[in-house]
Amino acid sequence: MKLDPKEALALWRSVTLASMTRGQPDLTTRQMAVLMQVYLAEPPHTIRGLSALLKISKPATTRAVDRLATLGYLRRKPDETDRRSILIQRTVAGSVFLREFGDLAAKEAAGV
């Protein structure tokens, strides 16, 4: 599917509105970017690595991970090989959230 900019924005709007009406948590763009990076890219994931990849500060990444961990979408685990580092891991709740969000996006794209 090839979308022009106006169609892409309309799709983004419809996915956002549909997500809001389903009672999904209100995630910021940064939180969603962190969540998708952790789920769609191969692990391991660390705050340092996510910050570099997403080009955002470590404190901003930490705040996003904190919120996602509070929701149960991610969890922290000490790195057994480097005690100074904390690994960011996926959870079942996060997998379910993103699968449902992906289903919603696909449904909305089919209607565009």
pLDDT of the chain along its 112 residues, tens only?
A: 789 999 999 999 999 988 888 887 889 999 999 999 999 999 999 999 999 999 999 999 999 999 999 999 999 999 888 888 899 999 999 999 999 999 999 999 998 5
Q: Which CATH number does 14-95 carry?
A: 1.10.10.10
Q: Which residue in 92, 49, 54 sits closest to 73, CA to CA?
A: 92
pTM of the model: 0.89
CB 99 within 8 A of CB 73: no
What confidence score (pLDDT) does residue 83 get? 82
Do 28 and 54 form a contact (C-beta atoms < 8 A)? no
Q: Which residue has the tokens 């565009």?
A: 112
The predicted pLDDT at position 24 comes to 79
Nearest CA to 32 out of 77, 72, 67, 7 is that of 67
pLDDT digits (tens, 9 = 90+) for 52-68: 999 999 999 999 999 99
Distances (CA, A) of 65 to 16, 55, 108: 21, 15, 28
